[in-house]
Amino acid sequence: MAEEGRRLGVALDFSKGSKAALKWAIDGLFRKGDTLIVIHVKHSQSLESRNLIWSDTGSPLIPLAEFCDPEVMHSYGVEREPEIFELLDVISKQLQVTVLWKIYWGDAREKICEAVGSMELSTLIMGSRGLGSIQRVLLGSVTNYVLEHASCPVTVVKDSRP
C-alpha cells in the first residue's frame, strides 16, 4: 500500500545547489497528499523584535499562500525569487502538495538537523555547493554535517549544470 501524507523537507537557501535540489524533488518525488516543508536558515541573528520569540525554535510553519505576501516575506527578511515561488505554486495546485515554510536563524548545520527532528520528516533533500575536499575541511560542510547528524534519510542533489 502506498504511503500517504509524507512530510518531506527541502533545505533552501536560494543557492544554485539548493534550487537544483528543489527542482529535482519537484520533478519526481512528490505525490498527492504530501507535505513539503521548505527549511530556510538565515545566517543573520538580526531579527525584528516581533521575530525574537522564534530565535531558538524558528518561525511557525507558514503556508505558501501566506508566505507569498510581500509584507510577510519582508518581515522574515526573505527576498522573492519568482522562479522558486512559481515552482512551489505549481506543485501546490497540480499535485495538491501542502507547501509550508519554516525559517530559522543561526548555524545552518544545527538548525537543519533541529528541523528534521522536530518536524519528524520522512526525508530531507538538500543541495551541494560542490566544494572540493580541501574547501570542505577548511570551511566545513553543511551537507556533511547534516548527513552525519540528521535523524531521517537525506538525499543530496548535486547541480549538474556547469
The burial of 78, by beta-carbon neighbours within 10 Å (0-12 exposed, 13-18 middle, 19 or more buried), is given as middle
Q: What share of the chain in percent tops pLDDT 70?
A: 80
Strands (E), 30-138: 35-42, 62-63, 98-105, 123-128
Average pLDDT, the chain: 83
Query: Checking phi first, is residue 77 left (phi over 0); if not, alpha (psi -120 to 50) or beta?
Result: left
Tell me the one-letter amino acid at 40: H
- Where in the chain are the domains? 7-158
pLDDT tier, 130 (very low <50, low <70, confident <90, very high otherwise): low
Question: What integer pLDDT is reported at residue 15 of this predicted model?
Answer: 86
Query: Which of 40-54, 110-124, 146-160 ranks highest by mean pLDDT?
Result: 110-124
Residue 2 has pLDDT above 60, yes or no: no
Q: Which residues contact 135 (CB under 8 A, 6 or more apart)?
A: none
CATH code for the domain defined by 7-158: 3.40.50.620
Residue 37 has pLDDT above 50, yes or no: yes
- The whole-model pTM stands at 0.84
The Cα–Cα gap between 50 and 149 comes to 31
Question: In the block, which residue shows the cell 522558486?
Answer: 84
User: pLDDT of 65-103, one tens digit each?
Assistant: 999 999 999 888 888 888 999 999 999 999 899 999 999
Identify which has the larger pLDDT, 1 or 40. Answer: 40
